[in-house]
Amino acid sequence: MTTLGAVYLEAGLFSRLGGKVKELSGSIQTVAIVTDDTVKDLYLRPAIDSFERAGLRPLCFSIPPGEESKSAAMYIALLNWLAESRLTRTDAIAALGGGVVGDLAGFAAATYLRGIPLVQIPTTLLAMVDSSIGGKTGIDLPAGKNLAGAFYQPLATFCDPELLAPLPPEVLTDGWAEAVKYGMIRSAPLLESLSSSLLLAPNAEIIKTCIGIKQDIVQRDEFDTGERQLLNFGHTVGHAIETLSGYTVSHGRAVAIGMSVITRAAVRKGLCPPECQTALERALAVFGLPQQTDYSPAALYEASLSDKKRAGGAITEIIPRAAGECVLHKMPSGELLDWITLGVQP
Ligand code: GLY
């Protein structure tokens, strides 16, 4: 069983960040905060204050927001900055931001000096419920998303739901798509509660449930060789849509479409009851998440072939069997085209 970093989830936690990091490791002296220019304006000053109050020396590297920053060029620039700043193995990187910041900073932490301590401080719902948990780090290559990276567990993840307050609804929506994913793969009750239109804002309870599902799965399959692949539900087609759109379709929206395509295909193939599709569609509709794409099946299939889920001539797709239950389904790569073709039809 793997040892995942501790996850702290508490409203107001952010102001006590410095002390918490100090508690984790007395040897950390310098904290290299990696953030983006949007998050910087909101949260860099209080983060610096908190680290300084704890007697730590904060430094900052800020990137332009957006998927384009998860590039090889930015990764090298970050490594060079860490080296110029003379970060040592007893210092730490703090990823303050959403999924892009967490993946990039995490990959730098995994590889700089062959690995230095990392703390994740997610500031988006998507990062809180998914990307900051479980140790996946990486960057994109021109051929596709997340094609270079490492499994590298953070020392700790600090989730403060109060940080979500200033987020525009469209950014929250991306996180809700991942929450719907957890409902589909593991918890019909979660899917049901997400479908309740009473849920207007993320609350600690929902975040805790999603994190619990993810930790449970990652504990058993840290390196993504089996059960963890369930977390990729909707992601093969989702990543294809992100790539084809040049990342103008956001991750959560792309995954929402990906989940819809595969679920429609599974129902049409008689592998899953229509009630499952209804439950998914209801939950996605609550958050205004899209369920259709205009990209052709051939284009989606072509773009999905660079996906990591392909091994030899086969691809492992995640298909629903019922609301709250998905399974891994290994198929020849060519069969994926049938699935996509069946699933994109309205
Ligand atoms: N986001 C999928 C995973 O962490 O495995």
Q: Measured in angstroms, how far is the CA atom of residue 197 from the centroid of ligand 1? A: 27
- Asked which of 143, 164, 185 is the last residue of a domain, the reply is 164
List, for residues 257-287, the tens digit of each pLDDT value: 999 999 999 999 999 999 999 999 999 999 9
Nearest-Å Rg of the Cα atoms of the chain is 20
Cβ(5)–Cβ(198) below 8 Å: no
- Count of residues in the chain: 346
- Asked which of 164, 192, 215 is the last residue of a domain, the reply is 164
CATH code of the domain containing 15? 3.40.50.1970
Give the domain range for residue 245: 169-344
Structure tokens at 268: 């049409």
Cβ(109)–Cβ(149) below 8 Å: no
pLDDT value of residue 203: 84
Q: Is residue 160 part of a domain?
A: yes
Cβ(63)–Cβ(37) below 8 Å: yes
Q: Is residue 174 part of a domain?
A: yes
Q: Which amino acid is at 54?
A: A
With tokens 């860490």, the residue in question is: 82
User: Ligand 1 pocket: which of 186, 228, 239, 259 to mutate (most atoms <8 Å of CB)?
Assistant: 228
Q: Is residue 113 part of a domain?
A: yes
Higher local confidence (pLDDT), 202 or 27: 27
Residue 324: CA atoms inside 13 Å, Cβ hemisphere, count?
A: 9
With bands split at pLDDT 50, 70 and 90, how would you rate the model's confidence at 128?
very high
List, for residues 62-121, the tens digit of each pLDDT value: 999 999 999 999 999 999 999 999 999 999 999 999 999 999 999 999 999 999 999 999
Q: Same domain, yes or no, for 116 and 212?
A: no
Q: Same domain, yes or no, for 99 and 80?
A: yes
Q: Is residue 210 part of a domain?
A: yes
Residue 271: CA atoms inside 13 Å, Cβ hemisphere, count?
A: 18
pLDDT value of residue 200: 63
Q: Same domain, yes or no, for 217 and 248?
A: yes
Is residue 199 scored above 70 in pLDDT? no
- 133 Cα nearest atom in ligand 1: 4
CB 130 near ligand 1, within 6 Å? yes
Say if pTM beats, i.e. exceeds, 0.75.
yes
Q: Same domain, yes or no, for 181 and 314?
A: yes
User: Ligand 1 pocket: which of 232, 242, 308 to mutate (most atoms <8 Å of CB)?
Assistant: 232
Q: Same domain, yes or no, for 127 and 187?
A: no
Helices (H), 93-229: 99-111, 125-126, 169-186, 188-194, 204-220
Q: Are strands 314-322 and 325-332 parallel, antiparallel or unpaired?
A: antiparallel
Cβ(37)–Cβ(62) below 8 Å: yes
Q: Is residue 293 part of a domain?
A: yes
Nearest-CA residue for atom 3 of ligand 1: 231
Is residue 233 scored above 70 in pLDDT? yes
- 217 Cα nearest atom in ligand 1: 5
